[in-house]
Amino acid sequence: QVQLVESGGGLVQPGGSLRLSCVASGSIFSINVMAWYRQAPGKERELVASITTGDRQTYADSVKGRFTISRDNAKNMVYLQMNSLKPEDTAVYYCYLTWGPSVYWGQGTQVTVSS
């Protein structure tokens, strides 16, 4: 049984920063992809950023230059450093882990950007 637990969400003013963390536990294949998705009210879930075990990263165009994804393979953790936050970044952020046909999701953490 694989579980993902996110933390670090909250309320922040526009221009502020937050750091999300996600820890994976259970039987995890050593070569995998971890990612952050988000879903805003009334919108579809979208990929924010992903990172492979080998540290290859991808970002949505809307967050390039503002968000940074990183991971600690020894701890099975993935992070999302979010800077210069905008109101349109408000969403529930989900941690994601996959290898082969296996896909796992966290329960989500709310990020609200508002003055």
Task: Identify which of 95, 65, 70 has the alpha carbon closest to the alpha carbon of residue 83.
Answer: 65
Q: Which residues of 71-91 are buried (b: 16+ CB within 10 A; e: fewer)?
A: beeeebebbbebeebeeebbb
Return d(Cα 25, Cα 47) in angstroms, integer: 22
Closest CA to 12 of 96, 97, 83: 83
Per-residue pLDDT of the chain (115 residues; tens, 9 = 90+): 899 999 999 999 999 999 999 999 999 888 899 999 999 999 999 999 999 999 999 999 999 999 999 999 999 999 999 999 999 999 999 999 999 999 999 999 999 999 9
What pLDDT is attached to residue 85?
A: 98
CA gap 85, 32 in Å, rounded? 28
